[in-house]
Every structure is written in structure tokens, then in C-alpha cells.
Amino acid sequence: MKYTSLPVAMKKFHREPVVYAIGESEFKILEIAPLEDADFTIGERIYVGKEKEKRDKVRAVKRRVSYDELTHAAKEELPYILEEIVRRGEEKFVEFFNTAQPITTRLHSLELLPGLGKKTMWAILEERKKSPFASFSDLCERVPTLRHPERLIVKRIIQELENTKEKYRLFVR
């Protein structure tokens, strides 16, 4: 078999712009090839679905990326982006507090949130028996030991992204 060598100019590594995006429902991190004239801002929402005519800034989704492959800048921005996503989907995450179930006889899914211990878990369970939580502010008012539940959720999402071998996954698919 014969092989043809490529011209020198084509052998060199070709760099192209890359955009990292995180899914709002399953929190999958994607590497995206943007259109040539597209400008992005950090935190901007973009469409990456199958309908190509709806993609106004995305040429292609290259691959799924692990947390370790992100640039340092992307890792620094991730908590702020996730907090915004959690605030936008507040109903979904409040519903998690309303419906969270025990995983084993000794471990409750609420305990998987970093910084939330047994006492706070029991306080949440007692309060939700009275009536379901309506919002994060309602949750904070009724459970005084709990401050910034959205940050607890963000920390858990980052923990699940960092550790791919996490035994129990609450948010990342």
C-alpha cells in the first residue's frame, strides 16, 4: 500500500476556537465548534439541539468533555453559571427538597448535599410534612439552619462533575 504525504502547511496543528457549554437539565459539559462570525459571552444561553436551523451560533457539537478537561478559566466560571441555571430552574430544585427520599436505611439523599448534616436534614423533613416548600426563600425561612440552598446544589453538581465514579448521582447524568 502506498501513502501520500501531506504538504507541510497541512501537517501543522490547526487551532480553531472552542466553546464549552453545560446542559441545563442533565449538566453534561460539551465542547462546541462555533460558527466563524459568532461572538459569545460567558453565561450566554445557546441552542445545541438536533434542529440545525435553530442553531444561530453553533456549527457542531464536537464531543462531551469531562470536568478535568476544562480550562482553568472555565472551571472558575462554572460555579457562577451553575448558580444561574439553578436559580432559573428553581421549581425543579425546590421539588428535589420536597420529594427527596432515603437512599439506604442510614443515608438520605439530602445528606449528599455538601454542608447539609443530619440535623438540617431532619428539620427539612419535618417542615415538608407540614406543607411543601414553594421556593428557596420559603425553604430558608422555614429551616433557619439552611442558608443558600442553591449554593449547596451547585456544590453537589460540581462534586458529581469532578468525580465521575460518584456512587450516588442526584443531578448529573
Q: Are 63 and 45 in the same domain?
A: yes
Total number of domains constituting the chain: 2
Which residues span the domain enclosing 26? 11-69
Same domain, 59 and 104: no
Q: Are residues 65 and 142 in the same domain?
A: no
Report long-range pairs for 103-106 (Cβ below 8 Å, ≥24 apart).
103/168
Which stretches of the chain score pLDDT less than 50?
1-11
